[in-house]
Structure 1
Amino acid sequence: MKTVLITGGTSGIGKALVQHFLKEDYQVVLVASNQEKLAKTKDELEDRYREKIYVYAQDLAQIGAAQELYKRIKEDGLEINILINNAGIGLIGSAENIDFGKEEQMMQLNMITVVQLCRLFLVEMYERKEGKILNVASTGAFQPGPYTASYYATKSFVLSYSRAIRREAAKNGVQVCTLCPGTTDTEFFHRTGKKTPAGAMPADKVAEYAYKKLMKNKEIIVPGFLNRLLRVVPVRIKMFFVAIIKNNA
């Protein structure tokens, strides 16, 4: 049985991915920062799918957390076949008003932890000459985002980094894909104190599409026809509308 590691798997796209992999008979390793929510999710899913789920409470927004998580997983003798870097947070507001501490944690989680987990698990995937990595970015990775400047920038970083290591990993039999969802009905907006926009894509639909394309080794995975269509819209136009939407959010 192959094992998938999913970070940020207690809600939203992460939890939907967990459920999809369980349906496909994968062994799941679930990582989240909230111990109580993690235990609740474990009990819920084990009861529903009758499969054991391995859970690790780890705040991946902290320095050194990636290395600590990797160490714990290795001590437990688990071999990871698929790594999904889904955990991430976002901040909305003008650049000069964003809280320093929250912004630093966001950059740690969204970028540095992603890089470090990829680096750690790529080594053993290269040794086995097989493995898959799915890094979750955003449609925000395709253009700058006024009033979400640092958040969009972190997702651009994830996309660029993932595309680069994809080229490196291919010669070692490892696949690296990037998921770029658009507006999705998750807790993301609740955390920022905003309402979920109308027309947000259901998390389970995003997860279903992501799974299919990951298995087909699609380089950049964009769920939703409209989201794919928007990729051809000029960047300046998209920035203009992002600025209006986010400034009024």
Structure 2
Amino acid sequence: MTKGRVLITGASSGLGLELTKLFAKDGYDLILVARNVVKLEQVKIELELAYKIDIIVLDKDLSLKNSCIEIYDELKNRNIAVDILVNNAGLGSFGLFHETELSKLLEITAVNIDALTILTRLFCRDMAKRKSGKILNIASIGAFQGSAFIAAYYASKAYVLSLSEAIANELKDYGVSVTVFCPGPIKTNFHKAAGKGMSNTAISAEKAASLAYSALRGGKTVVIPGAGLKMMIFGARFLPRRVVVYLAGKLQKIQKQQKG
């Protein structure tokens, strides 16, 4: 008998894939969502054989709003309840805001904000009715300040942080916990896809997944992994916001040069 059913977006690689492995190892049935359905099918075969669990693969593009509703309706029609929701899927783009294609900016906000909002709203309603459930939203250290060259991504993660904190307070009386994980750089394909270099301080996806998983199980709300990052966020409170934004932008520019 499994522990429940977990829905994970962006499950085909990076942090999402590592979280998928942890939930599988712990005996959860899974619903895996990503655009790379070939990779998801491979993951399904490997994990079902290894851990004797049931995995549902959904090939969905979360930049399309109807996709989120389709996911919910399909599971509802199959009488499948989601016990844990992991909003991991995310997009970013490095460059000057005014030079970035509008279609790319809209895709970022569609996945990072709209899809997360829709999925959270639909599934947390059912969790609240059952008075049981957990939600893990993946934000970023960038949620705490704006930054030049990656403005839309950081802004979208600020939304994730704010929303998660608010609904965590709302849902606690309904037996539902909300955890928002705010890591620094992680060694995944995200940076390459966003067009920027990898920070020397980046941690492995396995390490990040382990920290996020532990935080979710512990019912923590806002999680900033690492003493260094916590000190940086705390220290930034005593600086003018324009200075914090300037320094963040300088760091992004350095990482861009490292890529080149």
TM-score, normalization by structure 2: 0.91
Partner of 2:231: 229
Deviation at 1:237, TM superposition (A): 4.5
Distance across 2 between alignment mates of 1:199 and 1:129: 40
Partner of 2:11: 9
Matched AA of 1:94: L
SS of the equivalent of 1:232 reads: helix
2:88 counterpart of 1:117? no
- The answer (yes or no) to whether the contact 1:93–1:246 under 8 Å persists in 2 is no
2:198 to 189, 196, 211: 196
Report the identity percentage: 37
Partner of 1:133: 135
Q: Pairwise CA RMSD of aligned residues?
A: 1.5
Moved more, 175-184 or 187-196: 187-196
Deviation at 1:208, TM superposition (A): 0.8
2:37 to 35, 39, 43: 35
- The answer (yes or no) to whether the contact 2:148–2:245 under 8 Å persists in 1 is yes
1:243 to 246, 249, 257: 249
Distance across 2 between alignment mates of 1:150 and 1:193: 14
| Runs (5+) with no aligned partner, structure 1 | none
Matched AA of 2:10: G
Matched AA of 1:160: S
Q: How does 1:137-216 map to 2 (within 5 A)?
A: 137-216=139-218
Partner of 2:26: 24
Q: Deviations over 1:16-41 (max 9, x none)?
A: 11111111111111110122222222
Distance across 2 between alignment mates of 1:10 and 1:86: 11
- The answer (yes or no) to whether the contact 1:162–1:177 under 8 Å persists in 2 is yes
Matched AA of 1:35: V
- The answer (yes or no) to whether the contact 2:85–2:135 under 8 Å persists in 1 is yes
Distance across 1 between alignment mates of 2:208 and 2:167: 24
Matched AA of 1:221: V
Deviation at 1:187, TM superposition (A): 0.8
Partner of 1:99: 101
Matched AA of 2:220: K
- The answer (yes or no) to whether the contact 1:85–1:136 under 8 Å persists in 2 is yes
Deviation at 1:238, TM superposition (A): 3.6
TM-score, normalization by structure 1: 0.95
Partner of 2:48: 46
- The answer (yes or no) to whether the contact 2:8–2:86 under 8 Å persists in 1 is yes
Distance across 2 between alignment mates of 1:27 and 1:119: 22
Q: Deviations over 1:156-204 (max 9, x none)?
A: 0011011111111111111111111110001101112333222311111
SS of the equivalent of 2:115 reads: helix
Moved more, 10-19 or 216-225: 216-225
Distance across 2 between alignment mates of 1:18 and 1:12: 10
Deviation at 1:49, TM superposition (A): 3.3
Distance across 2 between alignment mates of 1:137 and 1:212: 16
Distance across 2 between alignment mates of 1:19 and 1:225: 26
SS of the equivalent of 2:112 reads: helix
- The answer (yes or no) to whether the contact 2:94–2:195 under 8 Å persists in 1 is no
Distance verdict in 2 for CA 1:147–1:193, change over 3 Å = closer
Distance across 1 between alignment mates of 2:92 and 2:43: 23
